[in-house]
Amino acid sequence: MARDEQLKERWSTLQDKLSRQFADGDLLDLDAIIYLIGVQELGQVHRKFKKDQKLDLMHIAICRVLEPYGYYEFDYYDEESWPHYKILETLPALKAGEQSVLMKEAIVQYFLEKGYIE
């Protein structure tokens, strides 16, 4: 199977599974899935978050899923147990579609590593 086809298939499987689990079947978009990863990484799943904290959670998720690609490295947990990352390499200038593919690829890899999908 071609790499692009495999990514599309895995992304669809992941999106469907997460949507059933967290959105009563309403299809979650890329941003919603990034947010869920941030909540997972923080480990405070039953907490309500303010708008700025939600953005921070998305940042945590982006850093975490792009860490294996060499863009970020985990640095430390702060006094409130929020993870912090340092930039190792600046992300390349990508078109919107290319950004989306990179993020989907990184997210699929994250959930494969977690054993959530196969």
d(CA 110, CA 60): 13
- The total domain count for the chain is 1
DSSP code for 68: G
Between the alpha carbon of residue 93 and those of residues 14, 90, 102, 116, 118, the distances in Å are 27, 9, 12, 31, 31
d(CA 87, CA 110): 19
Query: What is the value of pTM for the model shown?
Result: 0.92
Whole-number pLDDT of residue 65: 98
Structural domain includes residue 103 = yes
Whether residue 58 is predicted with pLDDT greater than 90 in this model: the reply is yes
The mean per-residue pLDDT over the stretch 1-19 comes to: 91
The mean per-residue pLDDT over the stretch 79-89 comes to: 95
Structural domain includes residue 9 = no
Whole-number pLDDT of residue 118: 87
Structural domain includes residue 58 = yes
Whole-number pLDDT of residue 18: 95
Whole-number pLDDT of residue 47: 87
Structural domain includes residue 19 = no
d(CA 88, CA 72): 5
Structural domain for 87, as ranges = 30-114
Which residues are within 8 A (CB) of 72 and not within 5 positions of it... i.e. 6 or more apart? Answer: 63, 64, 66, 85, 86, 87, 88
Whole-number pLDDT of residue 1: 60
pLDDT in tens, 28-50: 999 999 999 999 999 988 889 99
